[in-house]
Amino acid sequence: MYRELDSKTKKELRDYFGGRDYMVIAVPRDELIRVYTLRATKTVETSRRLHNLAGKEAETLGYALLSALLLTSLVKHATTQKVLIKIQNNCGTVAAEADGMGRTRGFIENYPHECWAEGTLSVVKELRLGTPYTSIVPLVGRNFKESLSFYFEQSEQTRTYLDMSLLFDENGNVRHACAYLVQVLKGVSQKSIDIIEENLREISLDEEGPEELAVSILKEMEPRLIGLKEVEYYCPCSEEVARASLLLLGQEELEDILSEGPAEVVCKFCKRVYRFSREQLML
């Protein structure tokens, strides 16, 4: 099923989503090209606020979330299959995950960009089919865009174009967060590749919404809408999950923790704090 990505469809999308974040998935009429365009302004601002980040740390986690959402191109649309991206080196770690429903979350420990070239980029695909698929490549370039492009070249072996934009206002709040990913599959004509590359040179990431961005990328190629998903920062942690993590500790270690007061678990992804007394843990 598809819809022509014409002016009527674009207006309906703008009216339906309003100020909410969402992703558009589009294809041209006659070629094997997939386009994913994304607005995630509120999502990235939620992550910045939850983690109380500013400056480069806020920017780094924001780009990690955008990257994870783009990587959902690797999992089945509208499912709980998910993908995890992790940047890790001696300076620190940043990680983000997203699922086929458009839900994403992440965390940052220290600031890994200071020694970027010394680290690795890991992508884990959880397809609910057994053992997750993991791919690890060295970090290259200077940022998420260049490292993620290298990952697609090395691990997915699919011609891929991507870009991300993240802007902050004078108070440090996220003003605009968007991204696109274009995958050119085998058999696409050189003429169509040339059109895509020319269109990408002309687009602006700072102004257009997802539907307009998709149309701009597929200009002269009769774009069609084949998928949509709302995007949000979502953490499924719960009291039950937190309690279970404590009960995985050894009896002696848990007794040491409880001797100083209630046991505490802090979720890395949303900073929610769970506290448990001995009675709550049934010890």
| Tens of pLDDT, residue by residue, the chain (283 residues) | 789 999 999 999 999 999 999 999 999 999 999 999 999 999 999 999 999 999 999 999 999 999 999 999 999 999 999 999 999 999 999 999 999 999 999 999 988 888 888 899 999 999 987 789 999 999 998 889 999 999 999 998 889 999 999 999 999 999 999 999 999 999 999 999 999 999 999 998 876 799 999 999 999 999 999 999 999 999 999 999 999 989 888 888 888 888 888 999 999 999 999 999 888 886 5
Q: Give residue 76's Cα distance to chain centre.
A: 15
The CATH number that applies at residue 26 is 3.55.30.10
Instruction: Determine the pLDDT at residue 207.
Output: 67
In a domain, 98, yes or no: yes
* CB atoms inside a 10 Å sphere around CB 201: 7
**201 and 266 share one domain:** no
Q: Do 138 and 261 fall into the same domain?
A: no
Q: How many domains does one find in the chain?
A: 2
Domain shared by 41 and 150, yes or no = yes
Do 18 and 58 lie in one domain? The reply is yes
Q: Do residues 23 and 64 share a domain?
A: yes
Same domain, 190 and 264: no
Q: Which two tokens stand for residue 235?
A: 């953490």
Within this chain, do residues 243 and 217 fall inside the same structural domain, yes or no?
Answer: no
What is the predicted pLDDT for the residue at 130? Answer: 79
Read off the DSSP letter of residue 219.
T
Dist. CA 268–CA 270, nearest whole Å: 6
Residue 76 is predicted with a pLDDT of 93
Q: Are residues 49 and 119 in the same domain?
A: yes
* Same-domain pairing of 47 and 186: yes
Determine whether 155 is exposed, middle or buried from the number of CB atoms within 10 Å of its CB (0-12, 13-18, 19+). Answer: middle
- Amino acid, single-letter form, for residue 164: M
The pTM for the full model equals 0.94
Q: Are residues 72 and 191 in the same domain?
A: yes
- Neighbour-count burial of 169, counting CB atoms closer than 10 A to its CB (0-12 exposed, 13-18 middle, 19+ buried): exposed
pLDDT at 184: 96
Domain presence at residue 97: yes
pLDDT at 157: 87
pLDDT of res. 283 = 56
pLDDT of residue 204: 86
Cα separation, 81 vs 59, whole angstroms: 26
Give yes or no: residues 244 and 220 share one domain: no
Same domain, 193 and 256: no
* pLDDT at residue 79 in the model: 92
For residue 18, give its domain range: 3-233
